[in-house]
Amino acid sequence: MHRRALLRGLGTLGMLGTVGVAGCTGRLDGPAFRESFEAGLGDWESGAAIGPEVDLAEFEWELDVSDAQAADGERSLRIWNEGDYDDGVTWGVHPVSVESGRAYRARVTAQLWSESESFNTLRDAVMRLGPEPPSVEEDFPQPGVNTSQLGETPYGGLREPLWLADGWREYRFEWTTPELTTDTLYVAVGTAVIWEGDATHFVDDLSVEITPR
């Protein structure tokens, strides 16, 4: 079996049509959203983008729920994408309810899995929380940026290297919001291609904490 086929088939339980219940609570003083993917994708939606020199239809990627790896429970979100173009990003996104007309401090934490530790940056982890879902790669922070130290910004997020540990590693950012004019935020998590080569990563134990300020 080809390596790409092996990566695609790694422990897949359900593709994008899997139905489940996610953990949105709507609380403002604690975890507003928590997800361990035990019940499937639920309201998660997927997206991908690649540079203008490549037709998006030519960029191969997958996002589903798998039992191959888990940091919490028995399942996690699996993200696979090809590396033939040394470019491209794949993400999942989920709505998070908030009260409009207030400003907040938000903290987003997730566990991401890499196959091994590597001195080469093969993929970046990308995360975002904002009033709109991402639609292009530029909707995520630039490489090396984490909004935790930036003060008030239009959206929060990070872009930091994967493959820094063998197995699970925590990624976290904070966001100081302006006064919001929406009652829905969107949390997104994914992987961005840096180095040629197909790669599978897993996401688990994601939480969004929101506190009025």
Instruction: Please tell me the predicted confidence (pLDDT) of residue 5.
Output: 36
Q: In sequence order, what E strands does 50-141 have? A: 61-66, 76-81, 89-97, 104-114, 123-130
Instruction: Please tell me the predicted confidence (pLDDT) of residue 168.
Output: 97
**CA distances, 200 to each of 40, 63, 77, 146 (Å):** 18, 10, 10, 23
CATH number at residue 10: 2.60.120.260
Q: How many domains does the chain have?
A: 1
Q: Is residue 55 exposed (0-12), middle (13-18) or buried (19+ Cβ within 10 Å)?
A: exposed
Residue 30 CB neighbour total at 10 angstroms? 11
**108 within 8 A of 156, measured Cβ to Cβ:** yes
Question: How far apart, in whole angstroms, are the C-alpha atoms of residue 190 and residue 125?
Answer: 6
Q: Which domain holds residue 56?
A: 3-14+22-212
> What pLDDT tens digit does each residue of the chain (213 aa) get?
333 333 333 333 333 333 333 443 344 445 799 999 999 999 999 999 999 999 999 999 999 999 999 998 999 999 999 999 999 999 999 999 999 999 999 999 999 999 999 888 899 999 999 999 999 999 999 999 999 999 999 999 999 999 999 999 999 999 999 999 999 999 999 999 998 899 999 999 999 999 999
Instruction: Please tell me the predicted confidence (pLDDT) of residue 30.
Output: 52
Strand 23-24 to strand 184-193: parallel, antiparallel, or no bridges (unpaired)? unpaired
Question: How far apart, in whole angstroms, are the C-alpha atoms of residue 90 and residue 134?
Answer: 11
Which amino acid is it at 181?
T
